[in-house]
Amino acid sequence: MAQLLDGAGKLVWVLLRSVLRFTFMFINNCVAIPSYCLYLMLLQPLRIWDRSVFWHIEGIMFKWLLAMVSSWGWVAGYTVTEWGDDVRPISEEEAMVIVNHQSTGDVCTLMMCLQDKGTVVRKMMWLMDHVFKYTNFGLVSLIHGDFFIRQGKAHRDKQLVYLKEHLDRYYHSRDRKWIVLFPEGGFLRKRRETSQLFAKKHSLPHLTHVTLPRLGASHVILKTLGAQQENGSVGGDTSMLNTTANKRKGLQWVIDMTIAYPKARPMDIQTWIFGYRPPTVTHVHYRMYPIKEVPVEAEALTDWLYQRFVEKEDLLAHFYDTGSFPPPEGQKEAVSRQMTLDPVWLCLIQSFAFASGYMWYSVLQYIYCCLF
Are 143 and 123 contacting, i.e. CB atoms less than 8 angstroms apart? no
CA atoms within 13 A on the CB side of 63: 20
Residue 83 lies in a domain: yes
**What is the pLDDT, as a whole number, of residue 227?**
63
**What is the pLDDT, as a whole number, of residue 46?**
95
**What is the pLDDT, as a whole number, of residue 11?**
76
Q: What sign results for the dihedral spanned by CA atoms 61, 74, 315, 183?
A: negative
Query: pLDDT per residue over 133-172, tens digit each?
Result: 887 788 999 999 999 988 777 777 899 999 999 999 999 9
Say if residue 243's pLDDT is above 90: no
Q: What is the mean pLDDT of residues 171-193?
A: 92
**What is the pLDDT, as a whole number, of residue 241?**
40
Q: What does the alpha-carbon distance between residue 170 and residue 168 come to, in Å, rounded to a whole number? A: 6
Say if residue 211's pLDDT is above 80: yes
**What is the pLDDT, as a whole number, of residue 248?**
67
Q: What does the alpha-carbon distance between residue 191 and residue 215 come to, in Å, rounded to a whole number? A: 15
Residue 236 lies in a domain: no
CA distances from 246 to 42, 243, 305 (A): 31, 5, 28
What is the overall mean pLDDT for the chain? 88
Query: pLDDT per residue over 338-366, tens digit each?
Result: 988 999 999 999 999 999 999 999 999 99
| Sheet containing 95-99, strands listed edge to edge, beginning at the edge strand earlier in sequence | 147-149, 124-129, 178-181, 95-99, 253-260, 281-290, 79-84, 337-339
**What is the pLDDT, as a whole number, of residue 240?**
37
Q: What does the alpha-carbon distance between residue 172 and residue 239 come to, in Å, rounded to a whole number? A: 13
Residue 183 lies in a domain: yes
Query: pLDDT per residue over 45-55, tens digit each?
Result: 999 999 999 99
Tell me which residue of 114, 98, 326 sits closest to 219, measured CA to CA.
Answer: 98
Residue 239 lies in a domain: no
**What is the pLDDT, as a whole number, of residue 57?**
96
Give the type of residue at 283.
H
Q: What does the alpha-carbon distance between residue 176 and residue 125 come to, in Å, rounded to a whole number? A: 7
**What is the pLDDT, as a whole number, of residue 12?**
78
Are 199 and 213 contacting, i.e. CB atoms less than 8 angstroms apart? no
**What is the pLDDT, as a whole number, of residue 237?**
38
Say if residue 233's pLDDT is above 70: no
Q: What does the alpha-carbon distance between residue 335 and residue 223 come to, in Å, rounded to a whole number? A: 35
Q: What is the mean pLDDT of residues 173-183?
A: 94
**What is the pLDDT, as a whole number, of residue 3?**
67
Say if residue 257's pLDDT is above 80: yes
Give the type of residue at 171.
Y
**What is the pLDDT, as a whole number, of residue 330?**
77
Q: Which H or E run includes 90?
A: none
Tell me which residue of 306, 258, 263, 313 sits closest to 284, measured CA to CA.
Answer: 258
Q: Please, which residues have CB within 8 angstroms of residue 128's CB and are 6 or more apart in sequence?
A: 107, 141, 146, 147, 148, 149, 182
**What is the pLDDT, as a whole number, of residue 344?**
94
Q: Alpha helix (H) ranges present in the chain?
A: 2-42, 44-49, 51-75, 105-113, 138-144, 153-166, 188-201, 216-225, 243-246, 269-274, 298-322, 343-371
Say if residue 192's pLDDT is above 50: yes
SS3 for 116?
coil
Query: pLDDT per residue over 273-326, tens digit each?
Result: 898 899 999 999 999 999 999 999 999 999 999 999 999 999 999 999 999 999
Q: Into how many domains does the chain fold? A: 1
Whole domain around residue 292: which residue ranges? 1-227+249-327+338-371
**What is the pLDDT, as a whole number, of residue 328?**
83
Q: What does the alpha-carbon distance between residue 250 and residue 93 come to, in Å, rounded to a whole number? A: 9
Query: pLDDT per residue over 82-125, tens digit each?
Result: 999 999 999 999 999 999 999 988 999 999 999 999 899 999 99
Residue 317 lies in a domain: yes
Q: Please, which residues have CB within 8 angstroms of residue 66's CB and are 6 or more apart in sequence?
A: 111, 115, 121
* β-bridge pairing 253-260 and 281-290: antiparallel
Residue 150 lies in a domain: yes
DSSP 170: I
Residue 332 lies in a domain: no
Residue 333 lies in a domain: no
Q: What is the pTM of this model?
A: 0.88
268 beta partners: none
Report the percent of the chain where pLDDT is more than 70: 91
